[in-house]
Amino acid sequence: MEKQIVERDLADWKAAEADAALIAAVEAGKVLYFPSLHFTIWPQEAALLRPELLAKGKRNISLDADGTLKGADASLAEQAELAGMIGRFRDGALALVHGLLPAYQPHLRIAPTSFRPAEVQGRAQSWRADDRRLHVDAFPSRPNRGERILRVFANINPMGQPRTWRVGEPFEDVARRYLPRAKPYSAWQAQCLKRLGITKSFRSEYDHLMLQLHDGMKGDADYQKNARQVTMPFAAGSAWVCFSDQTPHAVMSGQFMMEQTLHLPVEAQYNPSSSPLAILTRLAGHPLVP
């Protein structure tokens, strides 16, 4: 299998520069790995690295663009510290992406920034929600009509433990495997889902097919075990970047991570023909987004 992890030496979040090879790699669904890109936890923030700060039933603590903190069961002072720490990570993640992928900058839509203090192992979930299974990101209630999902991660584990992923085969290989098994798309059903409020907007055929890939991969025990894949322990003090709607990935273990999601219109890519929308449209033989 073609190498799916591309490693580069970078130690400053604000020092990244555009590189044609890295741009092509990330837009092909590869993971950009920066083993020396450390997100610094200030001394007064060290006490925040404990899972007890998570509100009951929450998987992460998040900071909205307007500064609203969600998901924390913490004192007002701790909430202020959390907001500051998460906000600093957002600034670093944006600086990194703006440096690596400068053409994206005017088009990015910033999603909430998250701090994930819980251990991945041992979490009880349904098979469909279990991110320890290889998958590409697609969300039943949030159709995106091809909009890209770019994510920046940093392992801030204070005990030096890695965050271990499995990274799978190229997206087109996944699509060729599961498209023939996909259930037929129904625009009528999609309209009903929208009217009932089950989806936030109209589910296009693209969104339907992405969900079919997501569920097909997660529900296929043989694929999970035998598909071409690599196990990647992202070291404590490192960072990595990928399009999570294109990179087959599974999160196997780890605790204490920062994450920033950014949304990008597919036409703003350097090479839109490498996107999942373009690949699925080509394989399907007809437009997938009205």
CATH number of the domain enclosing 270: 2.60.120
- Alpha carbon of 73 to those of 43, 52, 185: distances in Å? 21, 8, 42
On the question of pLDDT at 101 being above 80, the answer is yes
Residues 6+ positions from 241 with CB-CB distance below 8 Å: 26, 31, 32, 34, 96, 97, 100, 150, 151, 152, 153
- The confidence score (pLDDT) of residue 126 equals 87
Q: Between the CA of residue 124 and those of 2, 113, 128, 249, what are the distances in Å?
A: 33, 24, 12, 19
**Percentage of residues in the chain having pLDDT higher than 90:** 95
Query: What are the phi and psi torsion angles at 95 (to 5°)?
Result: -60, -40
Residue 119 lies inside a defined structural domain of this protein: yes
Lowest average pLDDT, out of 1-15, 187-201, 241-255, goes to 1-15
In the predicted model, is pLDDT for residue 145 greater than 80?
Answer: yes
The pLDDT, as a whole number, for residue 1 is 57
pLDDT of 284 reads 97
How many domains does the structure of the chain reveal? 1
**Residue 122 confidence (pLDDT):** 67
**Domain of residue 96, residue span:** 5-284
Going by pLDDT thresholds of 50, 70 and 90, the confidence category of residue 160 is very high
pLDDT of 217 strictly over 90:
yes
220 pLDDT band, cuts 50/70/90, is very high
Residue 290 domain-assigned? no
Taking only the tens place, the pLDDT of each residue in 103-139 is: 999 999 999 999 999 998 766 678 888 999 999 999 9
Contact between 39 and 258 under an 8 Å Cβ cutoff? The reply is yes
Assigned domain for 208 exists: yes
Whole-angstrom Cα distance, residue 290 to residue 283? 17
**Mean pLDDT, rounded, for 173-192:** 97
**Who contacts 197 (Cβ-Cβ below 8 Å, separation ≥6)?**
none
In a domain, 289, yes or no: no
Per-residue pLDDT, 244: 98
Cα–Cα distance for residue pair 157/258, rounded to 1 Å: 10
The pLDDT assigned to 127 comes to 86
What pLDDT is stored for residue 124 in this prediction?
Answer: 65
Between CA 245 and CA 253, with CA 251 as vertex, the angle to 5 degrees is 165
Q: How far apart are CA 161 and CA 70, in angstroms?
A: 26
Strand 61-63: give its sheet, edge to edge: 5-7, 31-34, 239-243, 148-155, 257-264, 109-116, 61-63, 69-70
Note the pLDDT of residue 2.
Answer: 64
The 3-state DSSP class for residue 220 equals: coil
CA dihedral of 185, 262, 235, 13, whole degrees rounded to 10: 160
Q: CB of 248 within 8 A of CB of 174?
A: yes
Q: Is residue 108 part of a domain?
A: yes
